[in-house]
C-alpha cells in the first residue's frame, strides 16, 4: 500500500522542537486524543507549507482534560470551537467538514492555507506562544499592550530554528534545566503510554480479590462465619441471604490499604463487586448477596447463540456459595451453573480462532 521506500514508525510524541516535520505536506490527527489541540501548532511550526487535518474525539486541552466553559453548547460543539480557535490562532484558515463514517464524532477540521505571509512567521509564533500560555490560566495581554516576558529561569529560548519559534513558559523554575535541554513547548503534557494498563480490577491479584469478596460477604451475612472449605447444598434450614449495605458503608469497613489499591482502578470497589457477579448484586448503590433462585425464576428464553454460550460455560468455574457460604449453595447441584466440587468441574473451552481470509 505504501511502497517499499515508506518507513512507518510508532512512538509517543511530546510537542517540542524535536517533533517537527518540515518535510511533510499534511499532519493528520485521527482521534489523536491528547495531541488533538497540538496538531495545528505542530503543523504551523513544521513549515509554512504544512497543512493539518484533525478529527477530534476525546476532549483534551494542551495539558490534561478539556474543561467546559459554556453550558449553552454541547461539550462536543464547544470542543470543536476550541480546536478551531487553536487553528485560527496558529494562523490557519480553518474549514469544517463532516465525514461519512459510522461515528457520532465525525466532524473534522482542516487547515490548508495561512492567514499571514511567510514574512510574518516570527510575530505569528509569538501569538501562538502567548495563546498556549493563556490556556494554563495566564491571561493574554490586552490588545495594544506589550506582553510581559516570563522570568528567564522559566523560559526556553529557541535556538537554531529558521522560523524563530519560541518555547513556552514552563510554569516552574524546578526542573528548568531539563526542560531547556529538551526544548519542550509546555511542561505538564503527558503522552499516552504505548500499552495502556487495564484498570477494571481484572488484573488485581486473585488473593486480594478473594480477600475483599470474603470480607464484604461476611459483612452482608451479618458476621456469620464463612466456610473456607466446602459446604453441603440443600440444607433443611432457611438459606441466609444476608442484608444489604451501601457502597459507602462497605468502604468504611475495608482497610486503608485496600481502599488505596481499589482507588487506582476505574470504578474502584463497585467495579470489583460487579466483576464478582456470581456472589454480589449491586443495585442503586447498594450491595446484596445474589440469590440464584431469583435468577432461575426470572430467566428469559435466550437465542440459540446465547444458549450455546451458556452451555459451554456450564460447570467451568467453582461455585462460590458451595465453597464459602455457611448454608452452602441455594441451588441443587444439577441446577447450579457452577461446579459443586472438583469432580463436577469441566475444563473451559478455548474459543476457536477464525481462519484468515486470503
267-319 pLDDT, tens digit each: 889 999 999 999 999 999 999 999 998 876 555 555 665 556 566 778 889 99
- Among the ranges given (68-72, 224-228, 241-245, 260-264), the one the predictor scored with the smallest mean pLDDT: 224-228
Each residue of 313-325: b (16+ CB within 10 Å) or e?
eebeebbbbbbbb
Q: What is the pLDDT of residue 255?
A: 92
The residues that bridge with 111 in the sheet, in sequence order, are 52, 94
Q: What is the mean pLDDT of residues 333-348?
A: 90
| CA–CA dist 318, 339 (Å, integer) | 5
Question: 90 to each of 40, 340, 351, how far by Cα in Å?
Answer: 7, 67, 51
Q: What is the pLDDT of residue 263?
A: 87
Q: For 17, list phi and psi in degrees, rounded to 5.
A: -65, -20
Share of the chain above pLDDT 70, in %: 73
Q: Which residue has the cell 487553536?
A: 86
User: Greater confidence, 20 or 353?
Assistant: 20
* Spatial CA neighbour of 168 closest among 243, 202, 81, 176: 176
CB atoms within 10 A of CB 69: 8
- Taking every pair of Cα atoms in the chain, the longest distance, rounded to a whole number of angstroms, is 91
Q: What is the pLDDT of residue 31?
A: 85
User: Greater confidence, 315 or 195?
Assistant: 315
Q: Which residue has the cell 512507518?
A: 8
| CA–CA dist 32, 38 (Å, integer) | 10
Q: What is the pLDDT of residue 350?
A: 65
Q: What is the pLDDT of residue 24?
A: 93
Pairing of strands 92-98, 107-114: antiparallel
Cα 349–chain centre separation: 31
Taking each helix axis from N to C terminus, what angle separates 268-275 and 206-220, rounded to the nearest 10 degrees?
90
Assess whether pLDDT exceeds 80 at residue 126: yes
| CA–CA dist 169, 151 (Å, integer) | 9
Q: What is the mean pLDDT of residues 150-178?
A: 39
The residues spanned by each domain of the chain are: 17-139+158-182, 206-344
The residues that bridge with 96 in the sheet, in sequence order, are 109
Amino acid at each position: 500500500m505504501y511502497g517499499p521506500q515508506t518507513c512507518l514508525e510508532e512512538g509517543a510524541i511530546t510537542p517540542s522542537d524535536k517533533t517537527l516535520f518540515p518535510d511533510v505536506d499534511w499532519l493528520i490527527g485521527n482521534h489523536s486524543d491528547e495531541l488533538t489541540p497540538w496538531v495545528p501548532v505542530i503543523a504551523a511550526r513544521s513549515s509554512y507549507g504544512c497543512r493539518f487535518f484533525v478529527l477530534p474525539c476525546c476532549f483534551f486541552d494542551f495539558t490534561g482534560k478539556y474543561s467546559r466553559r459554556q453550558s449553552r453548547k454541547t461539550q462536543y460543539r464547544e470542543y470543536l470551537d476550541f480546536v478551531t480557535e487553536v487553528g485560527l490562532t496558529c494562523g490557519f484558515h480553518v474549514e469544517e467538514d463532516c465525514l461519512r463514517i459510522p461515528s457520532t464524532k465525525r466532524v473534522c477540521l482542516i487547515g490548508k492555507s495561512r492567514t499571514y505571509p511567510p514574512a510574518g512567521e516570527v510575530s505569528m509564533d509569538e501569538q501562538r506562544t502567548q495563546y498556549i500560555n493563556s490556556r494554563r490560566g495566564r491571561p493574554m495581554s490586552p490588545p495594544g499592550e506589550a506582553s510581559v516576558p516570563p522570568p528567564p529561569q522559566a523560559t526556553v529560548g529557541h535556538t537554531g530554528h529558521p522560523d524563530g519559534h519560541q518555547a513556552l513558559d514552563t510554569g516552574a523554575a524546578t526542573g528548568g534545566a531539563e526542560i531547556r535541554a529538551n526544548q519542550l513547548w509546555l511542561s505538564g503534557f503527558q503522552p499516552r503510554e504505548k500499552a495502556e494498563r487495564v484498570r477494571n480490577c481484572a488484573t488485581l491479584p486473585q488473593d486480594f480479590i478473594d480477600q475483599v469478596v470474603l470480607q464484604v460477604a461476611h459483612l452482608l451475612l451479618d458476621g456469620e462465619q464463612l466456610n473456607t472449605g466446602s459446604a453441603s447444598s440443600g440444607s433443611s434450614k432457611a438459606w441466609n441471604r444476608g442484608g444489604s449495605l451501601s457502597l459507602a458503608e462497605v468502604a468504611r469497613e475495608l482497610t486503608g490499604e485496600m481502599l488505596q489499591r481499589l482507588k487506582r482502578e476505574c470504578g474502584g470497589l463497585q467495579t470489583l463487586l460487579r466483576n464478582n457477579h456470581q456472589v454480589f448484586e449491586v443495585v442503586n448503590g447498594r450491595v446484596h448477596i445474589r440469590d440464584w433462585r431469583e435468577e432461575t425464576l426470572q430467566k428469559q428464553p435466550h437465542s440459540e447463540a446465547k444458549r450455546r454460550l451458556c452451555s459451554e460455560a456450564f460447570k467451568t468455574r467453582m461455585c462460590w456459595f458451595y465453597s464459602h457460604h455457611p448454608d452452602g449453595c441455594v441451588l441443587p447441584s444439577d441446577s447450579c451453573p457452577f461446579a459443586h466440587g472438583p469432580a463436577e468441574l469441566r475444563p473451559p473451552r478455548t474459543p476457536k480462532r477464525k481462519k484468515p481470509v486470503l
